[in-house]
Structure 1
Amino acid sequence: MKDFVIILGSSTPPTNLHHQHSSKPKKPNSSFNKLSPSKKHPHSIPAVYSHQHSYPLLPSSSSVRWDPASGRRDSPLTYYAEMASKLAEDGRLEDFGMIVETVVASGADSSRFVSMLNVEFVSKGVALSVREGNVKSVIEVLKKVEKLGVPPVKLVDGFGLDSMKGELRRIVGSGEVEEAVDLLEVLRGFQFTIKEVVDPSYIIKVCVDKRNPDLAIRYACLLPHAQILFCSIINEFGKKRDLVSALTAYEMSKKNLSAPNMFLYRAIIDTCGLCGDYMTSRTIYEDLVDEKITPNIYVFNSLMNVNAHDLGYTLVVYKDMQNLGIKADMASYNILLKACCLAHRVDLAQDIYNEVKHLESTGVLKLDVFTYCTIIKVFADARLWQMALKIKDDMQSAGVSPNTVTWSSLISACANAGLVERAFQLFEEMLLAGCEPNSQCCNILLHACVEVGQYDRAFRLFQRWKGGQEGHTSNIDSMLSTKQLNNRTSIPTAPNSVTNSNPPSFAKLSFKPTTATYNILMKACCTDYYRAKALMGEMKSLGLSPNHLSWSILIDICGASGNVKNAIQILKTMRVTGIKPDVIAYTTAIKVCIGSKNLKLAFSLFEEMKRHRVQPNLVTYNTLLRARSRYGSLHEVQQCLAVYQDMRKAGYKSNDIYLKELIEEWCEGVIKGNHQKQEGLSSSERTDSDRPHSLLLEKIAVHLQMSTAGIPAVDLRGLTKVEARIVVLAVLRMIKENYVQGHSIKDDMMIILGVSKGRSDASKENSEVKDAVMKLLQGELGLEVLLVEPQIKKERQIDLQGDPVLLEIAGKNSLSTEPLSSTRRPVVLQRLKVTRKSLYHWLKRRADVIRR
């Protein structure tokens, strides 16, 4: 075998070293230079020096043993293997790596050298280096070992592997996930079993917490069950409601798959449902169709379930599934029933139920408890309690035992129909069947009692179910006088209710009140504010947090008792306790203010909720618009018209007739008190219910917004004669109120009637509007009205054939913005002018009437 010399480090050996050969080693160019072998001394042992020590690492040649069996000395390769193992055991992995690197460079038999290494020593050295934090140096050494053509995993046993596991856990625990994944990728390249190093679920959890889908997918790709981990990663991001990261993980997962994975498609669609983005689920489905990928039944079921709120789309997906030859299973029909329930399609739900019953009779499907629960809920929501009870009979005939959800739906069906006693009978049947009710079921019964006015019965049930906790409410009762307690039941009960009936004799329940339970009981307090407040205190003592509805009920009760100031204070207390008042709380407070005739406070609350970006709902708008039975000032009209406009911008439809009648009454106040007799309008003229009133109210709102900026031009185009009268009166009343406040008349009042030429029906309408307005202004109010004709000037133009023609063009004073007609004639608007002098004298007369 050829001799080779290994020198570790670049320091010069000391002068007192003893060598076995007279030739001095050549000075290396670097620490890892291989010296040329000596031909004169084929069996000489080279000296190996360390930069950490001042003595030779290899002994003299006299220590080289003679092997009697082979008749020759041990091979130098054996000695180097022993020395490398010893260096590794001492934790000197850098020196160990230099020997390995030199053996590779020398061209020696690497496999033989590796077989001579002591695995136990190497593993101990790896463990020692890892514990000292030298993980990177361990990796570098393992890379050098890999160059020998031998997997490094063969040189690391339990000691080294356990130490690396501990170090990786420490790195992950310190939050350095990316560093840990980088290290795992290296170990995976060394053929270490990654799953045994770190728990995959823990790594994925940390990656999800850090919102790093790229790192999570990189880690999953290191494991043999990567396809399952891809789905887990997407699901975990879905639980965090992080759809963006989930979609990123989905796209990266597809790139690492060689074939379509239905589990992956189902996972991302379910995640879209968790995140409330059903449109993205549809896009994913469309992409699958474009890629000619046929989803399986589970993907279709997930897609239908996520889009169950849209019955039309759900039925389209179901039709696609049928066209592809995929048979629906029981879950498919359950989802269809769920979609019918959400859409309140009782008829379609019945058809699906009958179809499923037919399939069951032929042995194709077997109805499960979820199917029966869903169809019962469909009938319960529609208050078809008899049909719901019939489904229960079918269910029991088929040998399917109703569960808690089923019984709750049945009880709810009867409770919604006002059949309180029937609901209690079902509750007893539920107990006899051995099915323990949950808090939701008990709350349904309490709510049924409250809805029919059986308040005492609701409290007795609550005390009975609480068992040993009666003391809390008993203390509440002791705080109240007998008169206060009797006031709670002053509301008449329903005809079929029995207010004095005792609670049914059921056994003690493991009943745990919820926030909803206390909300129902607070409603049962009616106007008893102190009892409701005590219930809220009891709720807090049990560790339950009052929600928005709790505070809203308390505001309503406080307002019903006549304490408006305290009701508004409760609204402020909500914010102090960390609960931002929602639209229900604000609307309740607004109702309280309107009920006490404090309209100023009600409208200030409306402005406050908009400042806090709380969007009013339809109830809020209608409450404000119906706050007044009449208008007394321009400000009040402007206030309500602003609410009306805000309501229409928000997309709500209002009852325009009610608001129109109030404004019409306010407008008619202009001519009240005149010496001339007021001519009333007939009922047919005043109602005109077939015509939408939004145009009228919008025009009035636009004109009244310019209250102090001068007299606006009154545009009557598109209005009937009755509506035109109201708009003119509205502007006149605005002028009158501004005059009283000190705003003088500066301009004439211009009234735009409409186009003077055109269709006969349009001309007829304009003529009727003109006559009605003239009769109002001249006959009833005594104002001076002039008909304004626009100035027409002729201009010479060139027609298409190049011949000169004369065109009549409206002057600059024309308010027309419409294009010229096909006959090239201008659009001329008819206008009326009420002179400023006439308006001034009319206002003067009105002021004198007011003074008198």
Structure 2
Amino acid sequence: MRNFVIVFSFSSSVITNPHHRHNHRRCYAAAPEPNRKTKSTSSLTKQLQSLPQQQSASSSSSSSPLSSSANPFSNHFSDAVRWIPDGSVEYYADFASKLAEDGRIQDVALIAETLAAESGANVARFASMVDSELLSKGISLNLRQGKIEIVVYTLKRIEKVGIAPLDLVDESSVKLMRRQFRAMANSVLVEKAIDLMEILAGFGFKIKDLVDPFDVVKICVDISNPQLAIRYACLLPHTEILLCRIIHGFGKKGDMVSVMTAYEACKEILDTPNMYIYRTMIDVCGLCGDYVKSRYIYEDLLKENIKPNIYVMNSLMNVNSHDLGYTVKIYKNMQKLDVIADMTSYNILLKTCCLAGRVDLAQDIYKEAKRMESSGLLKLDAFTYCTIIKVFADAKMWKMALKVKEDMQSVGVTPNTHTWSSLISACANAGLVEQANQLFEEMLASGGEPNSQCFNILLHACVEACQYDRAFRLFQSWKGSSAKEALYTDDIVSKGGSFSPNNLENHGSGSLVNSNSSPYIQASNRFFFKPTTATFNILLKACGTDYYRAKELMEEMKSLGLAPNQITWSTLIDICGGSGDVEGAVRILRIMHSAGTRPDVVAYTTAIKICAENKSLKLAFSLFEEMRRYQIKPNWVTYNTLLKARSKYGSLLEVRQCLAIYQDMRKAGYKPNDHFLKELIEEWCEGVIQENGQSQDKIIDQEGTDLGRPVSLLFEKVATHLQERTAGNLAIDLQGLTKVEARLVVLAVLRMIKEDYMRGDVVTDDVVIILGTGEANTDSGKQESAVKDVLVKLLKDELSLVVLPAGQRHLIDITQDAQLVDDGNQDPEHTSENTISIVGISSTRRPAILERLMVTKASLRRWLQRKK
């Protein structure tokens, strides 16, 4: 076989003792005997450390003819490598062991690879003769130096030549690897860590022992890399568990794209359908609010003839619990598929009924569950009873709720805190404060531990019943004394007893507590709960108009580390405004901005309401414009408050302002109070008659809303005509209006003309009134005739204006708006400004013939001057 020898060109100054010279000469031995094991001393390996620095010095020496650029070993050691035909495998194995002992495991791998390339037959002998203990020691040395990447890639190289990597990694090395992998997994090097773990997994290494799998998944989720997470999951034995964790992690993050990526990978990786995967996927759809996709997943299972288990069905019903019809459908499908419903199924059905407000259906489900319990098929739990109690509580059916409590106690189920909260809420919603307090006492006597929700419910019940002092007494007892003491004191007050601050103190240490007649001996524990923001919001409502008391509560709230929310600020604004301090209310709104809480529609509406009630209408409308600038959408209360802010209109600007709000309200989908606004506009329009000093003779609307037509058409007509005029002529379109509505529109236009005239605008054109196209014998024609009579009487008799029939004119729909055009037959008093040429008439379209009236501009000028 071919052998090689490594030649090192050391200077004479390096070798200072005979032992070194002896070993140096052995390195140059031309042909060691094949069966003799050659050994080198540790001093040789120490001299090898200077090899990289000497490569440049030896580059001028002549290299062996056997060394070539194609040999990686020759390239690494430059001219220091010389192949000798008589070299022995034992010698190279011994030399590699010494290199490993010194931590130069990469050089060991290089020797093995070179030997495999030059003499593949001796690779197995070399692998068996290398000292594994020294090689393991070298690996441990590199791991202590933090060179985990070098170790892993070296193990990969030597594994190719027959050296088993697992035999070289002892327990201490595993601990070192675990420490470095955990550091990499918790940093940006997680991808590099997974690359290295994939190599180790190829050796059969137990990857789960290196890092916490959930930590790696969390990092991959944080960096939004589902592919990397899936690669890691495939390295572990229980891949499906990690895949579920990956799907759930991205679901909590709301990243549905990554969720679907992981889901599709699951279907490719797993050979058989996994119900745990499907259940997790459906739950994630609920987390992301994509309930439609959860239905698609279920339908795909049915198409593939895969029978879902009870857990998948329950998750599907829970995600779709907002849809009562679909949830009931799934429940029926469970019966068709022979999937037996469990207690969770009935709890979800009750929850769905609670959300839908279906008390009747909830009762039926509850009866069925009790029937199955009596048959031994189910065992109702506290959640079931709590849910059905909440159904009755929301429906204010407190007697039914108490009946359910008796049912659960009869079967030995102890009510938990949530059950007691629901029971107390049932009585509180019905306004039964005393009953709610009795339930609270019963909870304490039975050993129940009330939470903040219980106390908040009691406080809310007191406030809703206007028992403000009782609410504050309960709050004070909550902060530092027994909750039972406050209830006992309330009981004394409710029975006609006197109350003073000393009563609480005496009750806490005196004979009242120790009396055998006291119902509170069994539970005299003192409860120290930290109030929540909701607690202070409830108490603020109990302040009424006492702003200073509310301000003290705000300070106490901040001292406890609680931040006011939008409800808190809105309530404070309302309290300040209730005392008539409009500026203070608006100032709180500004402070809310500066405090970092973005005002919502409730806060702005509260401030607008206060301004409207105190006749600060200009400020109210400015706040409305401000909330629009902040892109806060007004609600029905906001619009209605502004529309009702005025008892009458004083100017055209005010009318235009309210009409704009009215139109915006209708566009937003809210139904305004048409009749209220109609009365205001009517009053403003009839002011034209009153200013003439004539008696106001309104016509009773016999048609109005009795015909089923919305009053909004009137406001749309008025709003259209009261916009700023941009054209020279003015045409009033009264088509489709009743007599009273037509009268209001004409009066509104006349008032607009009058106010414009007062500002300096001159009347330059006649006013044309379009009545319609109805024929005399039709219902519409009769209505137009009645409208014409009313208008002629109004304009001629009441306002002394000149009204002439405009004749039959043609109307051409050039744009979407109806425009009046002249057919060339003008009346004598009609000026040239009214003449509009007919253009664009299609030969296939016959123009409609309109009946019109005309108020001359000369009479309008005389009317305006007379009023001036």
TM-score between both structures, scaled by the size of structure 1: 0.83
SS at match of 1:620: helix
Measure the CA separation in 1 of the matches of 2:574 and 2:312. Answer: 48
Measure the CA separation in 2 of the matches of 1:50 and 1:174. Answer: 34
User: Residues 335, 818 of structure 1: CA spacing in aligned structure 2 closer, same or farther, 3 A cutoff?
Assistant: farther
Please state how far the C-alpha of 1:93 moved relative to its aligned partner: 2.3
SS at match of 1:669: helix
Measure the CA separation in 2 of the matches of 1:833 and 1:9. Answer: 120
Number of the residue aligned with 2:438:
425
Measure the CA separation in 1 of the matches of 2:197 and 2:861. Answer: 92
- Of the three residues 192, 195, 201, the one matched with 2:208 is 195
Deviations 1:538-582 (A, max 9, x none): 111111111111111111111112222121111111111111111
The one-letter amino acid of 1:20's match is A
- Of the three residues 28, 31, 37, the one matched with 1:18 is 28
Number of the residue aligned with 2:252:
239
Number of the residue aligned with 2:654:
636
Number of the residue aligned with 1:414:
427
Q: How does 1:650-799 map to 2 (within 5 A)?
A: 650-682=668-700, 684=702, 688=706, 690-706=708-724, 712-756=730-774, 760-790=778-808
Alpha carbons 1:49, 1:57 under 8 Å: kept: no
Number of the residue aligned with 1:648:
666
Between 317-326 and 230-239, report the one with greater CA deviation: 317-326
User: Residues 574, 682 of structure 1: CA spacing in aligned structure 2 closer, same or farther, 3 A cutoff?
Assistant: same
Measure the CA separation in 2 of the matches of 1:180 and 1:459. Answer: 60
Q: How does 1:428-577 map to 2 (within 5 A)?
A: 428-467=441-480, 507=524, 508-577=526-595
Alpha carbons 1:708, 1:738 under 8 Å: kept: no
- Of the three residues 88, 100, 106, the one matched with 2:100 is 88
The one-letter amino acid of 1:747's match is D
User: Residues 33, 597 of structure 1: CA spacing in aligned structure 2 closer, same or farther, 3 A cutoff?
Assistant: closer
User: Residues 753, 689 of structure 1: CA spacing in aligned structure 2 closer, same or farther, 3 A cutoff?
Assistant: closer
Please state how far the C-alpha of 1:291 moved relative to its aligned partner: 4.8
The one-letter amino acid of 1:83's match is F
Please state how far the C-alpha of 1:537 moved relative to its aligned partner: 0.5
Deviations 1:659-714 (A, max 9, x none): 22222222222222335543222264566484322222223223222357666432
SS at match of 1:51: helix
Measure the CA separation in 1 of the matches of 2:689 and 2:731. Answer: 21
- Of the three residues 376, 386, 408, the one matched with 1:363 is 376
| Correspondence 1:372 to 2:385 | yes
User: Residues 279, 459 of structure 1: CA spacing in aligned structure 2 closer, same or farther, 3 A cutoff?
Assistant: same
**Aligned residue pairs: how many?**
778
Number of the residue aligned with 2:159:
146
Please state how far the C-alpha of 1:773 moved relative to its aligned partner: 3.2
User: Residues 314, 667 of structure 1: CA spacing in aligned structure 2 closer, same or farther, 3 A cutoff?
Assistant: farther
Alpha carbons 1:814, 1:829 under 8 Å: kept: no
Number of the residue aligned with 1:827:
848
SS at match of 1:714: strand
Q: How does 1:112-151 map to 2 (within 5 A)?
A: 112-132=125-145, 134-149=147-162, 151=164
Between 568-577 and 757-766, report the one with greater CA deviation: 757-766
User: Residues 825, 578 of structure 1: CA spacing in aligned structure 2 closer, same or farther, 3 A cutoff?
Assistant: closer
Measure the CA separation in 2 of the matches of 1:382 and 1:753. Answer: 55
Number of the residue aligned with 1:487:
none
Number of the residue aligned with 2:66:
27
Q: Give the gaps of 5 or more residues in structure 2.
A: 15-23, 33-62, 487-492, 505-518, 812-821, 825-834
The one-letter amino acid of 1:400's match is V
Q: Give the gaps of 5 or more residues in structure 1.
A: 35-47, 62-74, 474-494, 794-808, 848-852
| Correspondence 1:337 to 2:345 | no
Deviations 1:288-312 (A, max 9, x none): 4555544332222222222222223
SS at match of 1:301: helix
Measure the CA separation in 1 of the matches of 2:137 and 2:629. Answer: 69
The one-letter amino acid of 2:864's match is L
Number of the residue aligned with 1:51:
77
Number of the residue aligned with 2:865:
844
Q: How does 1:210-249 map to 2 (within 5 A)?
A: 210-249=223-262
Alpha carbons 1:119, 1:157 under 8 Å: kept: no
Measure the CA separation in 2 of the matches of 1:732 and 1:620. Answer: 31
Measure the CA separation in 2 of the matches of 1:11 and 1:652. Answer: 97
Measure the CA separation in 1 of the matches of 2:699 and 2:213. Answer: 82
User: Residues 497, 251 of structure 1: CA spacing in aligned structure 2 closer, same or farther, 3 A cutoff?
Assistant: farther
Between 353-362 and 753-762, report the one with greater CA deviation: 753-762
Deviations 1:425-452 (A, max 9, x none): 1111111111111111111111111111
- Of the three residues 263, 281, 285, the one matched with 2:276 is 263
Measure the CA separation in 1 of the matches of 2:756 and 2:70. Answer: 100
| Correspondence 1:4 to 2:16 | no
User: Residues 711, 375 of structure 1: CA spacing in aligned structure 2 closer, same or farther, 3 A cutoff?
Assistant: farther
The one-letter amino acid of 1:5's match is F
Alpha carbons 2:808, 2:849 under 8 Å: kept: yes
Please state how far the C-alpha of 1:325 moved relative to its aligned partner: 3.5
Q: How does 1:261-340 map to 2 (within 5 A)?
A: 261-340=274-353
Measure the CA separation in 1 of the matches of 2:495 and 2:806. Answer: 73
The one-letter amino acid of 1:460's match is R
Alpha carbons 1:463, 1:469 under 8 Å: kept: no
User: Residues 365, 675 of structure 1: CA spacing in aligned structure 2 closer, same or farther, 3 A cutoff?
Assistant: same
User: Residues 703, 262 of structure 1: CA spacing in aligned structure 2 closer, same or farther, 3 A cutoff?
Assistant: farther
Number of the residue aligned with 2:217:
204
SS at match of 1:750: strand
| Correspondence 1:101 to 2:93 | no
User: Residues 82, 585 of structure 1: CA spacing in aligned structure 2 closer, same or farther, 3 A cutoff?
Assistant: same
SS at match of 1:545: coil
Measure the CA separation in 2 of the matches of 1:819 and 1:354. Answer: 74
Please state how far the C-alpha of 1:810 moved relative to its aligned partner: 8.8
Please state how far the C-alpha of 1:132 moved relative to its aligned partner: 4.2
User: Residues 432, 600 of structure 1: CA spacing in aligned structure 2 closer, same or farther, 3 A cutoff?
Assistant: same
Deviations 1:173-216 (A, max 9, x none): 33222222222222222322211122111111112222222222
Measure the CA separation in 2 of the matches of 1:545 and 1:510. Answer: 20
Alpha carbons 2:704, 2:711 under 8 Å: kept: no
Deviations 1:211-257 (A, max 9, x none): 22222222212211111111112222233343343333333333322
Please state how far the C-alpha of 1:313 moved relative to its aligned partner: 3.0
More helix by share: 2
Measure the CA separation in 2 of the matches of 1:123 and 1:289. Answer: 56
Measure the CA separation in 1 of the matches of 2:329 and 2:801. Answer: 66
Measure the CA separation in 1 of the matches of 2:201 and 2:838. Answer: 82
Between 608-617 and 759-768, report the one with greater CA deviation: 759-768
Number of the residue aligned with 1:483:
none
Alpha carbons 2:247, 2:280 under 8 Å: kept: yes
- Of the three residues 386, 402, 427, the one matched with 2:399 is 386
Alpha carbons 1:419, 1:496 under 8 Å: kept: no
User: Residues 681, 152 of structure 1: CA spacing in aligned structure 2 closer, same or farther, 3 A cutoff?
Assistant: same
The one-letter amino acid of 2:565's match is N
Please state how far the C-alpha of 1:769 moved relative to its aligned partner: 3.3
Alpha carbons 1:810, 1:828 under 8 Å: kept: no
The one-letter amino acid of 1:338's match is K
Please state how far the C-alpha of 1:391 moved relative to its aligned partner: 1.6
Please state how far the C-alpha of 1:820 moved relative to its aligned partner: 10
The CA RMSD measured in Å over matched residues stands at 3.7
Please state how far the C-alpha of 1:601 moved relative to its aligned partner: 0.8
Measure the CA separation in 2 of the matches of 1:183 and 1:640. Answer: 71
Measure the CA separation in 2 of the matches of 1:360 and 1:683. Answer: 66
